[in-house]
């Protein structure tokens, strides 16, 4: 790091001080040390708390409040202590600033350094692509049986509340949606009210629980249930699952007519009523306000992609004699704007189209036997920086190739004069040694 003088500490020279600090090798060294430490702690935390929780706490944060006993074998008197650490986002931000100032701006621009300049630009591009993925990537999944088609993607972990007005046949087209971020952040005992001009009632949500299910009060385990009793049911709260995808939340919903002409309707909305088989339909709670019938349900957050995917054939092969999958792939048809295109989606061979990437992720049911009907599950990503890491690595590789190529050329050019000088000396030695001995004089 450039030497910091007493003059730099004066307020008017703080910009210069910041420039020296952020462009220093000292900062880069400590950022890399903390990145190693945070990666270690996050990996250990994942063992007991799951991948999603570890990512959120250690890598998708600016600061970490770490308990010493999480994953590390420490004495009991230390296990309960906490310390603050820089999070993954802060470390990546500092590293990016350090590389931009130190490796692109501050560094002397020489023809011999063009390779390292390009390589550092590639690393910065890689860091930026990681931030774009963190900020703008939307991920979910789509599961289909053969013959099924869909353009709807579901979230792995988040659930939304849907209110559906029903017609006389009991069917509904329009859906009033309360997104997960509106009620999942409710503190214990909190309540939130939602209204819509298209609904003759307000919706009050309270008592949100991350993992629970309604149970009849007559059941033996109901003694462990908590919360209010509604329609003969109470909520049995479960410990949060290690993997966030396995949590099934529940919430108390109260529908209050705006005119006050009828009594409010109260119920539990639970993710356990959602049908996780692609061929099924989620169960809903039905109620009536005035002459209008409605359905309410908690389902996985979902959204549409601009084309349909139809599963034509799912190819699944097992290892001989065991149920473990050896390979599986899907033959699908992409339907868009009246046109159809056949595409094969295999492991490590995704379909990329319209900014979306479909990966062959999984299959089900997991206990399906030979010959039984199975569905194919695709991981779906809408990531603006999908291919940026590849481009960044190509740029970095090109920069390193140029750098080492120039180093090699310089080494060879310095070796040539020495080789020529050595050859000349050898020729002189050979010439002097090859002179014939003097002829002795005749006596």
pLDDT tens profile 119-137: 999 999 999 999 999 999 9
Predicted confidence at residue 325, as pLDDT, reads 76
Predicted confidence at residue 433, as pLDDT, reads 53
Predicted confidence (pLDDT) per residue in 65-80, tens digit:
999 888 778 888 888 8
Predicted confidence (pLDDT) per residue in 179-193, tens digit:
999 998 887 678 999
With vertex at residue 436, the alpha carbon angle to CA 430 and CA 442, rounded to the nearest 5 degrees, is 165
Predicted confidence (pLDDT) per residue in 82-104, tens digit:
999 999 999 999 999 999 998 88
> Are the beta carbons of 351 and 345 closer than 8 angstroms?
yes
* Mean pLDDT, the chain, integer: 89
pLDDT band at 26 (very low <50, low <70, confident <90, very high): very high
CA distances from 373 to 87, 358, 365 (A): 46, 22, 8
**Among 241, 242, 239, 237, which residue's Cα sits nearest to residue 252?**
237
Which has the minimum average pLDDT: 36-40, 198-202, 272-276, 436-440?
436-440
Instruction: Report long-range pairs for 170-177 (Cβ below 8 Å, ≥24 apart).
Output: 170/293, 172/295, 174/198
**Among 212, 230, 208, which residue's Cα sits nearest to residue 221?**
212
Helix (H, G, I), strand (E, B) or coil at 63: strand
Predicted confidence at residue 257, as pLDDT, reads 93
Predicted confidence at residue 125, as pLDDT, reads 97
Helix (H, G, I), strand (E, B) or coil at 100: helix
Mean pLDDT over 254-265 rounds to 87
> Are the beta carbons of 200 and 289 closer than 8 angstroms?
yes
pLDDT band at 418 (very low <50, low <70, confident <90, very high): low
pLDDT for residue 442 is more than 70: no
* Residue with the larger pLDDT of the pair 421 and 189: 189
pLDDT band at 27 (very low <50, low <70, confident <90, very high): very high
pTM over the 0.85 mark: no
CA 55, 61, 64, 65 torsion: positive or negative? negative
How far apart are the C-alpha atoms of 356 and 350, rounded to whole Å? 10
> Are the beta carbons of 53 and 246 closer than 8 angstroms?
no
* Residue with the larger pLDDT of the pair 266 and 172: 266
**Among 45, 43, 125, 57, which residue's Cα sits nearest to residue 88?**
57
> Are the beta carbons of 199 and 176 closer than 8 angstroms?
yes
Mean pLDDT over 33-55 rounds to 93
pLDDT band at 419 (very low <50, low <70, confident <90, very high): low
Instruction: Report long-range pairs for 262-271 (Cβ below 8 Å, ≥24 apart).
Output: 262/289, 262/290, 265/289, 266/230, 266/231, 267/230, 267/231, 267/296, 268/214, 268/230, 268/233, 268/235, 269/161, 269/296, 269/297, 269/298, 270/212, 270/213, 270/214, 270/298, 271/159, 271/298, 271/299, 271/300
> Are the beta carbons of 204 and 192 closer than 8 angstroms?
yes
How far apart are the C-alpha atoms of 61 and 85, rounded to whole Å? 10
pLDDT for residue 1 is more than 60: no
pLDDT for residue 158 is more than 60: yes
* Residue with the larger pLDDT of the pair 428 and 417: 417
Tokens of 396: 């970095």
pLDDT for residue 24 is more than 70: yes
Highest mean pLDDT among 185-194, 198-207, 312-321: 198-207
């Amino acid at each position: 790091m450039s030497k910091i003088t007493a003059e730099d500490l004066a307020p008017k020279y703080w910009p210069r001080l910041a420039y020296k600090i952020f462009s220093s090798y000292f900062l880069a060294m400590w950022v890399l040390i903390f990145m190693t430490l945070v990666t270690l702690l996050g990996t250990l935390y994942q063992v007991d708390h799951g991948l999603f929780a570890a990512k959120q706490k250690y890598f998708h944060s600016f600061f970490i409040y770490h308990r010493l006993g999480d994953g590390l074998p420490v004495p009991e008197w230390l296990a309960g202590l906490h310390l603050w650490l820089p999070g993954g986002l802060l470390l990546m931000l500092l590293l990016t600033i350090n590389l931009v100032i130190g490796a692109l701006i501050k560094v002397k621009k020489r023809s011999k350094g063009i390779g390292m300049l390009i390589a550092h630009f590639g690393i910065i591009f890689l860091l930026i692509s990681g931030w774009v993925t963190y900020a703008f990537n939307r991920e979910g999944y789509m599961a289909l049986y053969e013959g099924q088609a869909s353009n709807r993607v579901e979230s792995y972990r988040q659930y939304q509340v849907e209110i559906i007005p029903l017609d006389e046949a009991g069917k509904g087209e329009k859906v009033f949606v309360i997104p997960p971020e509106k009620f999942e952040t409710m503190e214990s005992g909190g309540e939130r009210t939602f209204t819509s001009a298209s609904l003759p009632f307000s919706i009050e949500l309270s008592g949100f629980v991350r993992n629970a299910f309604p149970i009849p009060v007559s059941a033996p385990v109901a003694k462990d249930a908590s919360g209010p009793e509604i329609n003969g049911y109470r909520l049995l709260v479960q410990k949060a699952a290690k993997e966030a995808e396995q949590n099934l939340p529940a919430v108390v919903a109260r529908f209050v007519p705006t005119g006050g002409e009828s009594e409010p309707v109260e119920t539990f909305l639970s993710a356990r009523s959602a049908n996780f088989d692609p061929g099924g339909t989620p169960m809903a709670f039905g109620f009536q306000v005035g002459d209008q019938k409605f359905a309410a349900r908690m389902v996985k957050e979902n959204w549409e992609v601009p084309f349909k995917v139809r599963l034509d054939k799912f190819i699944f092969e097992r290892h001989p004699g065991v149920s473990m999958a050896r390979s599986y792939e899907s033959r699908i048809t992409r339907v868009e704007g009246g046109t159809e295109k056949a595409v094969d989606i295999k492991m490590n061979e995704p379909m990329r189209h319209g900014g979306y990437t479909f990966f062959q992720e999984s299959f089900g049911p997991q206990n399906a036997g030979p010959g039984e009907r199975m569905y194919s599950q695709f991981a779906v990503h809408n990531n603006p920086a999908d291919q940026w890491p590849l481009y960044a690595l190509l740029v970095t590789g090109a920069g390193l190739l140029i750098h080492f190529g120039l180093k090699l050329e310089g080494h060879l050019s310095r070796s040539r004069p020495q080789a020529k000088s050595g050859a000349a000396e050898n020729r002189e030695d050979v010439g002097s040694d090859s002179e014939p001995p003097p002829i002795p004089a005749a006596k």
